[in-house]
Amino acid sequence: MNFQLIHTESKSKARAGKFITDHGVFETPMFMPVGTIGTVKTLSPEELSRHGAQIILSNTYHLYLKPGMDVLREFGGLHNFNNWHGPILTDSGGFQIYSLDQLRTIREEGVEFKSHWDGSTHFFTPEKVVDIQRIIGSDIMMVLDQCIPNPSDFAEAEKAHQLTLNWAERSRKYFLNSQPLYGSAQFQFGIAQGGIYADLRKASIDGLLNLEFDGYAIGGLAVGESAEHRWQITDLCTELLPKNKLRYLMGVGKPEDILAAIELGVDIFDCVIPTRNARNGSVYTASGAINLKNAQFINDKNPIETDCPCFACKNFSKGYLRHMFNVNEIFGLRLATIHNIYFYLALLKRARAAIIQNNFRGFKDKFLAAYSAE
């Protein structure tokens, strides 16, 4: 088994585990920093490791366009290209294509889309997306799915769920009849869709379970639904998913959302929020996010957080960070990114320790009492 469930909390569904890949082990619950085009923006692989990253996420759609498949094949995959030698998960491109909106056409066979770089036309099928991820050499690959905005009406959600399931079947079959290109094992995760409709989510997961994926993702959330719907559906999905497989809630989220999902039994997360917000000057503290561009920090000699051991807080003041944002110095973007990545990964590490001590809810309540959500 690639996933080892170490402990499930007695008072909630929160779980601690670890997932074993040929590029190393990551502990769960875990947050995956997003390295869209191969790089977690501004950071070196060693800065990621040093601040707690155990796995990164990269985007199939983006890597397919740049640097492209020929380059990644030539280099022997993404690990050799970007020099991150830990586990990598790649999404399928489904969400990016969904985001292209007017630039794509979805049909049973696959999805046609136009590159956001140059407008050139491309066609992804479930099979092609497996091939692409074989070339990328990611440790965990996601199937091609159709993501729809929330709320969508039942008929639309049902159609997208059915297409996603058909694609999952083709993906799984194709995956099982193909091999990794670089000698390292690859795992394939299915993605549950079905919008905010419990019946559809149940049908989606039933269908996926028949295909016996290596892990399961909950897709189609954090795309417009209410918080109530989000957690209802997450709760339902984790009830239906098997205990012995990894659970991934795609694209979530803010610190408070991640804690809510952990309590419902989710294991891994990705989101651009901590890195993107950092580049806008917004950094996390135990009492909430602050913006380094704010004039109140002009003479502030304290680090972002006094007791934070990250490279930014160990060496630089809010005053200097504010100055760097004020003069557009990109070293400031790096420091803010480092801090936010560390904040997320330290939060999940503490969450894991709390789970093992059967005190996740106590930990979460204490965190949220001090923390002002955005």
> Which residues of the shown chain bind a second copy in the complex (CB under 8 A)?
37-39, 41-45, 66-67, 70-71, 74-75, 81-83, 298-299, 301, 311, 315-317, 319-320, 323-324, 326-327, 329-331, 333-334
Quote the least distance from Cβ 65 to a second copy, whole Å.
9
Known catalytic residue at 270: yes
Q: Which is nearer to a second copy, 232 or 317 (CB)?
A: 317
Q: Which is nearer to a second copy, 123 or 331 (CB)?
A: 331
> Residues 214, 257, 267, 270: which is the catalytic one?
270
Quote the least distance from Cβ 332 to a second copy, whole Å.
8
Q: Which residues of 88-125 are buried (b: 16+ CB within 10 A; e: fewer)?
A: bbbbbbbbbbbeeeeebebeeebbebbeeeeeeebebb
Known catalytic residue at 70: no
Quote the least distance from Cβ 273 to a second copy, whole Å.
19
Closest CA to 132 of 184, 82, 67: 67
φ/ψ (deg, to 5) at 303:
-70, 175
Q: Which is nearer to a second copy, 79 or 230 (CB)?
A: 79
The per-residue DSSP string of 226-274 comes to -HHHHHHHHHHHHHHS-TTSEEEETT--SHHHHHHHHHTT--EEE-SHH
Quote the least distance from Cβ 343 to a second copy, whole Å.
19
> Residues 91, 139, 214, 257: which is the catalytic one?
91
Grouping H, G, I as helix, E, B as strand and the rest as coil, residue 118 is coil
Closest CA to 339 of 302, 308, 295: 308
Quote the least distance from Cβ 226 to a second copy, whole Å.
36
Contacts of 182 (CB under 8 A, 6+ apart): 76, 77, 137
Q: Which is nearer to a second copy, 338 or 351 (CB)?
A: 338
Q: What angle do CA 48, 53, 59 make, to 5 degrees?
A: 85
Place of tokens 């969450």: 351
End-to-end CA distance of the chain: 39
Q: Which is nearer to a second copy, 45 or 215 (CB)?
A: 45
Query: Quick one: 244 exposed, middle or buried, by C-beta within 10 A (0-12, 13-18, 19+)?
Result: exposed
Q: Which is nearer to a second copy, 62 or 247 (CB)?
A: 62
Quote the least distance from Cβ 246 to a second copy, whole Å.
29
The per-residue DSSP string of 32-67 comes to E-B-TTSS-TT--HHHHHHTT---EEE-HHHHIIII
**What are the residue numbers of the active site?**
91, 270
